Amino acid sequence: MNRRHDLDWVRVLAFGVLVLYHVGMYYVSWDWHVKSPQAGPALEPFMLMSAPWRLGLLFLVSGAATAFLLRKRQQGFLGSRSLRLLLPLVVGMLIVVAPQAYYEVVEQLPGGYRDGFWAFYGRYLSADESFCDQDDCLTVPTWNHLWFVAYLWVYTVLLWLGAKLMPAALVERLQTGLERALSGLGLIVWPFALLAVARVALVTRFESTHALVDDWYNHAQYLPLFLLGFAMARMDAIWPALWRSRWVALALALASYVAIATYFTSFSEANPPPQALRIAMRTVWALNQWCAMAAILGFAWRFREADSAALRYLVPAVFPIYILHQTIIVALAHHLKPAAITPMIEGPLLVIATFALCFAGYELIRRVALLRPLFGLPWKAAKPDARA
């Protein structure tokens, strides 16, 4: 149970992909808080490269990190973890996310909104239900992209309760059975089968809401991946197996991505696919989802001891940057609109500016003791590592 630097690198890179994805959401035809005047389908095949697996990978790695944290500190684990997750969630909802909702109202409310941010903020804090368009009403206060933190806390509580209430012998049998199931071809087959069943059975019945209480398809994929990550952290044999399977997993991930991209560019609401093909593609989505994760973890295992000064800087930076990034993207995108910059230039500019402002925000946060716990950092910074 020594620190796994490969999982640190995966977590850092996964959150980096998330920032790129959210910048991309400004330019595609899919619904989002603000939209580029030139939004269209051109970027969507590239967005589909990470859409099936990016969040699942974060939950899986978070489950593994939880195993390490629980092993390190059993006494007071839940209280410490709750403070680390819930305080940033509340602060994020009350302060950080509010500008996202404001710009969404300014751009999408029928007739526009011209009363300014502070008038909106008072209504935001009072849970005003009157921000409505022809489809639905905006729920405020909201957690927007911070839904991941809320789900992570709930899954952590469920895991902690299971660890407390389940007999140790039963936990041991479950762990042993899972290790057997994930040996050989089972390493690819069983996680893929679980995700395929969840998608085929639930994706059309339960729309993705990120509202916690009615989001059953997302729970059916993310909770098992979180628990799987927790269990995998305690399996010595599974990581070399992922390394050995990495090329097979990568080939399956690439082939399934080509199928998914072709499918989504070939059919639309005006030209719907046959129902049999629709169901088949849900299983292909699940195949891509697991095989991409397995390939990433397999290739990353080589770097399990690849510590560096850069990694030691980036690991604590990830959570504050995650909290800040979407608000920065939305605000920058909205205020860049009058400049009418071509997306080929504006997009990279948005990416660079977002990362620059996120790291600037992190540099401020990590230096101010009162801000640190509000963004998921401990009150006091760790002593500098002599190797840094």
DSSP percent split of the chain into helix, strand, coil, nearest 5: 70, 0, 30
Across the range 26-39, mean pLDDT stands at 96
Band of pLDDT at residue 385, cut at 50, 70 and 90:
low
> pLDDT digit string (tens) for 199-255?
999 999 999 999 999 999 999 999 999 999 999 999 999 999 999 999 999 999 999
Specify the pLDDT at position 388. Answer: 44
> pLDDT digit string (tens) for 346-363?
999 999 999 999 999 999
Specify the pLDDT at position 382. Answer: 66
User: Do residues 357 and 19 touch, judged by C-beta distance below 8 A?
Assistant: no
> pLDDT digit string (tens) for 49-80?
999 999 999 999 999 999 999 888 878 899 99
Q: What angle do CA 143, 325, 59 make, to 5 degrees?
A: 65
The rounded distance, in Å, linking the Cα atoms of 26 and 147 is 19
Specify the pLDDT at position 384. Answer: 56
Question: Domain spans of the chain?
Answer: 1-43+307-363, 48-97+143-296
Rounded alpha-carbon distances, angstroms, from residue 383 to 9, 158, 369, 377, 387? 21, 33, 14, 14, 12
Specify the pLDDT at position 133. Answer: 84
Burial 92-130 (b: 16+ CB within 10 A, else e): bbeebbbbbbbbbbbbbeeeebeeeeeebbebbeeeeee
- Helix, strand, or coil (residue 97): coil
For residue 141, whether the previous peptide bond is cis, meaning omega lies within 30 degrees of 0, is yes
Specify the pLDDT at position 90. Answer: 98
> pLDDT digit string (tens) for 147-198?
999 999 999 999 999 988 999 899 899 999 999 999 999 999 999 999 999 9
Structure-token pair, residue 48: 């589909």
Range in 6-10, 95-99, 169-173 the model is least confident about: 169-173
Structure-token pair, residue 95: 């302060």
Range in 62-66, 131-135, 259-263 the model is least confident about: 131-135
Instruction: Find the farthest-apart pair of alpha carbons in the chain and give their distance in angstroms, rounded.
Output: 64
Residue with tokens 């290739």: 299
Structure-token pair, residue 223: 């909770």
Among 333, 237, 368, which residue's Cα sits nearest to residue 28? 333
- Helix, strand, or coil (residue 276): helix
Across the range 139-143, mean pLDDT stands at 96
Specify the pLDDT at position 95. Answer: 97
Specify the pLDDT at position 10. Answer: 97
Range in 101-105, 132-136, 318-322 the model is least confident about: 132-136
Q: What angle do CA 295, 45, 257 make, to 5 degrees?
A: 35
